[in-house]
Amino acid sequence: MWKVFVIIGALNAAAAVGFGAFGAHGLEGKLSERLMDVYQTAVQYQTMHALGLLAIGLIAAYAGSSASLSWAGWLLFAGILIFSGSLYTMAFTGISWLGAITPIGGVAFIIGWIMVVISVIKA
């Protein structure tokens, strides 16, 4: 399991760097200031949680895999897809109701981090 989360984390980190560079160079002057802020938030949260996935993979490699740690990783990954994905889509399309989906990803992040705590306590 640990390899899966290291790979997913590394791929998301690479994608976040790509999205960040694209935002800084390819979107300059093409998005409103508000939508650029939305885009930057998506990149920031993808980056943070990609690092979280890497940490989960390393914890699993060191302490061993567990169901709660696996849940933590999948919840962080789901959070990236839902939270950052909805913000990227909103930035590109301007569809503001997508902001209603974003908190679902935020809840996945929170529960995922709590599952990390539970995993470490149980280890």
Which two structure tokens, joined as six digits, stand for 27? 């979107």
Task: Parse the chain into domains and list their residue ranges.
Answer: 2-122
pLDDT for the residue numbered 73 = 98
pLDDT for the residue numbered 29 = 86
CA-to-CA distance for 108 and 64, rounded, in angstroms? Answer: 23
DSSP 96: G
pLDDT for the residue numbered 28 = 83
Instruction: Give me the chain's average pLDDT, please.
Output: 95
pLDDT tens string 78-119:
999 999 999 999 999 999 998 899 999 999 999 999 999 999
pLDDT for the residue numbered 123 = 83
pLDDT for the residue numbered 111 = 98
CA-to-CA distance for 54 and 41, rounded, in angstroms? Answer: 20
Is the predicted pLDDT of residue 60 greater than 90, yes or no?
yes
Distance of CA 9 to the CA centre of its chain: 9
